[in-house]
């Protein structure tokens, strides 16, 4: 297999928005409780936050945190999570008991400890409405002098939270969603909510729900309807996508990035068509605010059942990721970067324990899943950079789900210091690829590569073997005459730096 990528400084795309490296903390399973928050854990600080988890989240390099859901938010009363009274409530999305011990104030404290990461707050447009959204906004962003801003101050936050980014509901196109709506029902509610929120704080950045997946039966018409009704009052439309192998078809699974790419391109076309129809100059971008590999049908994703069975923080969606999963995951990151002109925010779903790069044991250790590595290295190398317009020529192969796909998928980023970072995935199950990078003008003298590759593509990191899968230095790399050549093993992900 051969593939070539050409990086030319005359063809730089828009700068990468750091928000593309966001993640997601939902009240789901053990993401919050015994994940980021576990009072009494030997590593917990005075506020109950696990310091070992904070350290790993910092190392991962995530930016914006989307919170508090997900499906959870569509039945959530934010008032339950502030002040002294913290009622236990049913969480019907995940058939659990929500203790409300952790809420908005705790989240803002945790974000401060992370280093001031931005909060992306989701509001409940499932069971609730405009008034509740406005109340939450007043509570969060008004300095003082009103009932709700004074209540926030009384609850220990003298300064407003000043939350800029808001999701207007979650996956409202999904029949599983509490308060699921038709496109038009949702579009009108989102439009009215957005307009109301702007009466309080005009410069908010608002995200409307797009489709829960590229394959939703309503995909396309949902976006058309929602964008038509809300266009001038919103800044983002969301995309969500989860991938898993189906019927053992690993070739198609390895090409998941191709589907994500066409999903983004389809949504971008609908945004452009809507702007044209409305004769609007307004810009709307994509917030890819849930993406990951997720084994949805597997045992860890079975919710508890029964009227007498509402556990607190059960083990849910605790997928253990393999090297293969991490390669697909790395490809999804490459795809987000390639579309950085349209995707200005994204959230890896999720952060800790729940389909997560970081796992914890209650009262025990925290460790890195295989997917941790591509995320951390991409964030480290690409933040603040600018993507080169994708110019790639790769051999192709056939997949059952997506037809012909490029075998190698890659993206080049110009870093702030003028050096280059190139991320590449080899989607072939069996064949290594000879990957050639044609460098832009410049005096490049050094090239190195880190590769995620395992002979056993199903190898995982577990509590017992926390470092089984990691990145390895790829010694095949050669830099000569403005060209870098590197061998990409089959089913591998690589990050290449060129100085
Ligand atoms: O991330 C897990 C779930 O996936 C979220 O709660 C929901 O929005 C999506 O269906």
Report the 10 Å Cβ neighbour count for 398: 11
Residue pLDDT, tens place only, 274-295: 999 999 999 999 999 999 999 9
Whether the CB-CB separation of 469 and 329 falls below 8 Å is answered with no
The secondary structure of the chain in percent helix, strand, coil, rounded to multiples of 5, reads 30, 25, 45
Q: What does the pLDDT read at residue 372?
A: 98
Task: List Cβ neighbours of 71 (8 Å cut-off, separation of 6 or more).
Answer: 26, 28, 93, 94, 170, 171, 176, 177, 178
Cα separation, 181 vs 236, whole angstroms: 19
Contact in structure between 263 and 214 (CB atoms under 8 Å): yes
Q: Rounded CA gap, 283 and 280, in Å?
A: 8
Query: Two tokens at 325?
Result: 């999963």
Q: Atom 8, ligand 1: which residue's CA is nearest? A: 70
The residue written with tokens 């997917």 in the block is 371
* Residue to probe by mutation, ligand 1, list 23, 25, 26, 28, most atoms within 8 Å of CB: 26
pLDDT, one tens digit per residue, over 19-36 is: 999 999 999 999 999 999
**Domain span(s) for CATH 2.60.40.1180 in the chain:** 392-498
Residue 58: helix, strand or coil by DSSP?
A: helix
Please name the helix (run of DSSP H) or strand (run of DSSP E) that holds residue 268, with its range, or none.
helix 256-278
Grouped pLDDT means (10 residues each) for the chain, 499 residues:
92 94 98 98 98 98 98 98 97 98 98 98 97 98 98 98 98 98 98 98 97 98 98 98 97 98 98 98 98 93 95 97 98 98 98 98 98 98 96 96 98 96 98 96 94 98 96 97 96 98
Note whether 184 and 191 are within 8 A (CB): no
Report the nearest-CA residue for atom 3 of ligand 1: 70
Take atom 1 of ligand 1 and give the residue whose Cα is closest: 349
Integer Cα distance of 195 and 198 in angstroms = 5
Question: ipTM of the assembly?
Answer: 0.99
From the CA of 116, how far away is ligand 1's center (Å)? Answer: 25
- Best residue among 24, 68, 71, 240 to mutate for probing ligand 1's pocket (most ligand atoms within 8 Å of CB) is 71
Is 74 in contact with 170 (CB distance < 8 Å)? yes
As given in the structure block, the two tokens for residue 202 are 């005009």
CATH 3.20.20.80 fits 17-383, yes or no: yes
Is 0.95 surpassed by the pTM of this model?
A: yes
Answer yes or no: are the C-beta atoms of 446 and 19 closer than 8 Å: no
| DSSP states of 188-207 | HHHHHHHHHHHHH-TT-EEE
CATH 3.20.20.80-classified regions of the chain? 17-383
Question: What's the token pair of residue 98?
Answer: 């929500």
Overall residue count recorded for the chain in this entry: 499
Residue 97's DSSP bridge partners are 90, 312
Q: Which residue's CA is the nearest one to ligand 1's atom 6?
A: 70
**Token digits of residue 94:** 């995940």
Pocket of ligand 1 (CB under 6 A): 26, 69-71, 170-171, 212, 290, 349-350
Residues that are catalytic: 171, 290
pLDDT at 310: 98
Nearest residue (CA) to ligand 1, atom 2: 70
pLDDT of residue 14: 85
Ligand 1 closest atom vs CA 349: 1
Chain centroid to Cα 218, Å, comes to 22
Atom in ligand 1 nearest the alpha carbon of residue 174: 10
In the numeric block, the tokens 């952060």 are attached to 351
Assess if CATH 2.60.40.1180 describes domain 392-498: yes
Residue nearest to atom 7 of ligand 1 (CA): 70
pLDDT at 13: 87
Question: Separation of 241 CA from ligand 1 center, angstroms?
Answer: 10
Residue 68 Cα to ligand 1 middle (Å): 11
Q: Of ligand 1's atoms, which has the minimum distance to the CA of residue 94?
A: 6
> Which of 69, 71, 25, 28 lies closest to 49, judged by CA?
25
- Measure 71 CA to ligand 1 centroid, in angstroms: 6
CB-CB neighbours of 343 under 10 Å: 25
Cα 260 to ligand 1 centroid, rounded to whole Å: 17
């Amino acid at each position: 297999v051969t593939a070539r990528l050409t990086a030319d400084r005359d063809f730089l795309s828009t700068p990468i928005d750091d928000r593309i490296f966001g993640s997601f903390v939902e009240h789901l399973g053990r993401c919050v409780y015994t994940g980021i928050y576990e009072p009494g854990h030997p590593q917990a600080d005075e506020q109950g936050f696990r310091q070992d988890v904070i350290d790993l989240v910092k190392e991962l390099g995530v930016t914006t945190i989307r919170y508090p859901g997900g499906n959870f938010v569509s039945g959530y009363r934010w008032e339950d999570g502030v002040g002294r009274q913290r009622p236990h409530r049913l969480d019907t999305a995940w058939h659990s008991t929500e203790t409300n011990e952790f809420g908005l104030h705790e989240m803002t404290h945790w974000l401060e400890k992370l280093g001031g990461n931005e909060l992306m707050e989701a509001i409940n447009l499932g069971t609730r409405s405009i008034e509740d959204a406005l109340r939450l906004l007043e509570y969060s962003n008004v300095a003082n002098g009103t009932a709700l801003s004074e209540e926030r101050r009384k609850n220990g936050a003298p300064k407003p939270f000043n939350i800029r980014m808001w999701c207007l509901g979650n996956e409202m196109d999904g029949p599983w969603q509490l308060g699921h709506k038709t496109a038009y029902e949702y579009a009108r509610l989102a439009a009215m909510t957005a307009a109301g929120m702007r009466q309080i704080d005009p410069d908010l950045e608002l995200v409307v729900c797009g489709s829960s997946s590229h394959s939703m039966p309503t995909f396309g018409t949902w976006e058309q309807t929602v964008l038509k009704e809300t266009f001038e009052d919103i800044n983002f439309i969301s995309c969500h996508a989860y991938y898993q192998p189906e019927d053992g078809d690993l070739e198609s699974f390895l090409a998941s990035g191709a589907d994500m790419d066409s999903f983004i391109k389809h949504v971008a076309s609908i945004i452009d068509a809507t702007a044209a129809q409305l004769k609007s100059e307004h810009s709307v971008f994509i917030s890819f605010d849930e993406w990951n590999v997720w084994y949805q049908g597997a045992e860890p994703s079975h919710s508890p059942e029964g009227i007498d069975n509402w556990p607190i923080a059960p083990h849910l969606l605790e997928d253990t990721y393999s090297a293969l999963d991490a390669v697909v995951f790395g490809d999804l990151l490459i795809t987000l970067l390639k579309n950085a002109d349209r995707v200005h925010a994204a959230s890896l779903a999720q952060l800790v324990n729940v389909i997560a790069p970081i796992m914890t044991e209650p009262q025990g250790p925290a460790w890195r899943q295989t997917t941790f590595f591509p995320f951390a290295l991409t964030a480290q190398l690409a933040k603040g950079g600018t993507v080169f317009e994708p110019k790639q020529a790769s051999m192709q192969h056939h997949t059952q789900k997506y037809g012909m796909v490029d075998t190698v998928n890659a993206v080049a980023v110009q870093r702030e210091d003028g050096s280059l970072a190139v991320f590449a995935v080899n989607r072939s199950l069996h064949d290594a690829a000879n990957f050639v990078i044609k460098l832009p003008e410049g005096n490049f003298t050094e090239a190195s590569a880190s590769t995620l590759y395992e002979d056993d593509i199903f190898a995982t990191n577990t509590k017992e073997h926390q470092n089984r899968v990691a990145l390895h230095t790829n010694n095949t790399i050669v830099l000569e005459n403005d060209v870098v050549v590197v061998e990409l093993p089959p089913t591998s992900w690589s990050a290449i730096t060129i100085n």
